[in-house]
Structure 1
Amino acid sequence: MKSSTITVRKAAVADSERLWELMRELAIFEKYIDVFAITPEIVKESGFIKSPPDFHCLVAEENRLIVGILVYYFIPYTAQNKPAIYMKELYVDKNYRGKRIGEQLMCVLKKQAEIHNCIQVKWTVAPWNEGGKRFYERLGAIENTEWLNYEWTI
């Protein structure tokens, strides 16, 4: 998918270092850098060498530089007997925001969900991320207030 000079494509193994850089920037932005344990080697192994991979990734490029990423994985089993997609990370380099790159990544993710017969795409947003909430609502997403998120830290 193209818009001006932005191209969205599936990530490749050669992208591992840049994916890691943007994942690290996201960890700083979302204030979990102190527990960020990902390395470029982990990205390469988990996303491209391992079969099936632990995650899938879309990248947005401008002039061959990756400026945005969207990391997701499939939830193969749901009550509706159709898969779902869980979007784990969406991040656009701060120098490239305002070009609708996040929107382009989300549109390609939606197409992936349709191709794979998914019933929905799910994700979480930090409650303090007002810009993120406005962005998703502008795309037509709705906040799910029926379920609360719980977790075990082990």
Structure 2
Amino acid sequence: MADTIIKIRKAVEADSEQVWVLMKELAIFEEYIDVFAITPHIVKEKGFRKNPPDFYCIVAEDNDKIAGILVYYFIPYTAQNRPAIYMKELYVDENYRGQKIGKQLMNALKKEAELNNCKQIKWTVAPWNEAGITFYERLGAKENSDWLNFELNL
């Protein structure tokens, strides 16, 4: 696959099934598959048919196969009076890792942030995901230890 040409683009409704497959693979990788409630129909409805959508997605495509996804949404109001982007999911199919696809997806997200006058891109990473942490640090990201993450499960 060294000669593979990957196209980075915004996802379209026809990508819903393949995007869902990678979302499911990420849920398995991050060990929350037991609570994973997303279906291809939900991806289609919430990401492409709802206006505005609940999430946006950038894909890495190899011919007709989605090799990677980056799912994000906007945080419209911040203290800087500029929006931010929250990256919810970044996942590259195992068969395509090591080809800088994650970096290409992140670069596309940076362009999206700039186009939308965003001040920051935010995300979380599991503390056990050392490869992910190393990847983000190589991109120039810094851990923000000023705040603690809290959740209230309902």
Q: Same fold (TM over 0.5)?
A: yes
2:143 maps to which residue?
143
CA distance in structure 2 between the partners assigned to 1:39 and 1:64 by the alignment: 21
* Secondary structure of residue in 2 paired with 1:68: strand
1:82 maps to which residue?
82
CA distance in structure 1 between the partners assigned to 2:148 and 2:26 by the alignment: 24
CA distance in structure 2 between the partners assigned to 1:135 and 1:4 by the alignment: 21
Cα offset for 1:62?
1.1
Identical columns (%): 71
1:55 maps to which residue?
55
2:27 maps to which residue?
27
Q: State yes or no: 1:131 paired with 2:135.
A: no
Residue deviations 1:53-86 (CA, integer Å, cap 9, x gap): 0000000011221100000000000011000000
CA distance in structure 1 between the partners assigned to 2:147 and 2:28 by the alignment: 28
1:71 maps to which residue?
71
Unaligned runs of at least 5 residues, structure 2? none
Letter in 1 for 2:105: L
1:96 maps to which residue?
96
CA distance in structure 2 between the partners assigned to 1:47 and 1:98 by the alignment: 28
CA distance in structure 2 between the partners assigned to 1:104 and 1:30 by the alignment: 22
Q: Which segments of structure 1 move beyond 4 Å, counting only runs of 4 or more?
A: none
Residue deviations 1:75-125 (CA, integer Å, cap 9, x gap): 000011000000000000001000000000000000000000000000000
CA distance in structure 1 between the partners assigned to 2:67 and 2:55 by the alignment: 19
CA distance in structure 2 between the partners assigned to 1:40 and 1:64 by the alignment: 17
CA distance in structure 2 between the partners assigned to 1:79 and 1:138 by the alignment: 27
Cα offset for 1:45?
0.2
CA RMSD, 1 decimal: 1.0
Cα offset for 1:4?
5.6
Letter in 2 for 1:34: D
CA distance in structure 2 between the partners assigned to 1:129 and 1:105 by the alignment: 19
Maintained 8 Å contact 2:4/2:62: no
1:8 maps to which residue?
8
* Secondary structure of residue in 1 paired with 2:108: helix
CA distance in structure 1 between the partners assigned to 2:78 and 2:143 by the alignment: 19
Unaligned runs of at least 5 residues, structure 1? none
